[in-house]
Amino acid sequence: MRIAFITNSYPTPAVPQSGAFVQQLAWALARRGHTVEVLHPVNRLKGLRGPRSPRLVEEDTGGGRVTVRHLPYLSLPSRRLGPLHTGRWTYGLFRRRVRRAVDALRGRPDLVYGHFLYPAGYAAVREGIRLGVPSVVAVGEDHFWSVAPVGMERAATDYRSATGLVAVSSLNRDRLIRDLGIPPEKILLSPNSVDLERFRPLPREEMARRHGIPLGKFTVAFVGAHEARKGPLRVLEAVAGLPDAQCLLIGQGLDRIAHPRVVFKGPVPQDAVPELLACADLFVLPTTSEGSCNAVIEAMACGLPIVTAVGPHMDDIVDGGVALRVDPLSVEALREAVRTLMNDPSRLTAMRRACLARARDFDITRRAERLSAWFGSLIAAHHRAASAPPDAVANL
């Protein structure tokens, strides 16, 4: 199967952690024997800072290859100007850049895949129509923020022609049905997953020496961007109230935080994340919204018990065996959850075992197998419809 894989989020030399989970999926599909060609439009203005992305990259997946084309284009600042929204212009520029790249491919893809609703999903649907092949859109947003420039009514029209949509959570699936009018039979529920060969327990002392992490205190890890909804400052405040605890803050923008309890901070390449998680005793992420939380799944795969938020955005991923769930905005509730597990080593050990077992449900290889089978069924149905007499197609 040849897949044109369109995404606006993918690792680059300037931002190596961006879209790492998207890259994992592309690699897993390639290891299934598919030809995966990633089309990744990159904002020209962002390219002015940091190392530039090479136009063409061949990635070795350890069982296949992924061709990545980083495509410079102009992305405008997103804002409303009276009745207009600049996001519409950006989406149009993105789509035209993708169209030129698709035309430059050697041969027609069997399926066009777009990751996130706009702009990549929209471009995938339009290319599928233009090429006469199935299109699939993965919906991973915590809420449909990318719809704002066009509105729900226009979005419902845009995605009516998608062959299928992947919802990464029950919450997303329900929103697709309710807000965009997508028929349930078009939706595959498939949570994000991780590479269990990469994210696994590693030798703690060795990893601590490699990254210079002191191990004298109970270590709490956080992975995510420096955003209020993710809550890194709430984690830090909670840990600061516990004399025998310290923090690892891993993610974009976190290097700006200064506090004596922080023993590591800042962004790292994806390969370093499991090494740093190996130095921790507990993973804390008080996020107020998520699509399907990669950071929590990765932490479970590394054997770390979880403290996270109550709410439907985490219901598909964690249960009481692997996580303590609290009000994500309450620093005191976070502190008490950390204190509870600090003082109960036997419970912490039982949760570690439960996390490793739970993580097997989020194996990227199994997800790629399921997606491959579903993609194949969509292609077969498309071919049957294309070869059927007109009167038969009208009755499908």
Read off the CATH number of the domain in which 169 is found: 3.40.50.2000
Question: What is the C-alpha to C-alpha distance for residues 265 and 307, in angstroms, rounded to an integer?
Answer: 19
Residue 355 resides in a domain = yes
- Domain identity same for 387 and 347: no
Q: Dihedral angle at the C-alpha atoms of 358, 364, 366, 372, nearest 10 degrees?
A: 150
**Domain that residue 158 falls in:** 2-193+365-392
- Domain identity same for 57 and 184: yes
pTM to 2 decimal places: 0.91
- Domain identity same for 7 and 98: yes
- Domain identity same for 177 and 248: no
Question: What is the C-alpha to C-alpha distance for residues 303 and 295, in angstroms, rounded to an integer?
Answer: 13
Query: How many residues would you count in the chain?
Result: 396
- Domain identity same for 324 and 350: yes
Residue 146 resides in a domain = yes
- Domain identity same for 211 and 245: yes
Place of tokens 């350890």: 62
**Residue 78 identity:** S
Question: What is the C-alpha to C-alpha distance for residues 280 and 208, in angstroms, rounded to an integer?
Answer: 9
- Domain identity same for 322 and 238: yes
Residue 139 resides in a domain = yes
Residue 199 resides in a domain = no
Residue 264 resides in a domain = yes
pLDDT, tens digit, for every residue of 208-246?
999 999 999 999 999 998 999 999 999 999 999 999 999
pLDDT tens track, the chain, 396 positions: 999 999 999 998 888 788 999 999 999 999 999 999 999 999 987 655 667 888 999 999 989 999 999 999 999 888 888 888 999 999 999 999 999 999 999 899 999 999 999 999 999 999 999 999 999 999 988 789 899 999 999 999 999 999 999 999 999 999 999 999 999 999 999 999 999 999 999 999 999 999 999 999 999 999 998 999 999 999 999 999 999 999 999 998 898 898 999 999 998 988 999 999 999 999 999 999 999 999 999 999 999 999 999 999 999 999 999 999 999 999 999 999 999 999 999 999 999 999 999 999 999 999 999 999 999 999 999 999 888 776 654 555
- Domain identity same for 377 and 321: no
Query: How many domains does the structure of the chain reveal?
Result: 2
- Domain identity same for 171 and 48: yes
- Domain identity same for 328 and 344: yes
pLDDT of residue 83: 83
Give phi and psi for 380, each to the nearest 5. -60, -45
Residue 198 resides in a domain = no
pLDDT of residue 395: 54
Residue 178 resides in a domain = yes
C-beta neighbour count of 256 within 10 angstroms: 8
- Domain identity same for 214 and 67: no
pLDDT of residue 252: 87
- Domain identity same for 297 and 380: no
Q: How far is CA 286 from CA 19, 192, 326, 347, 358, in A?
A: 21, 19, 8, 21, 20
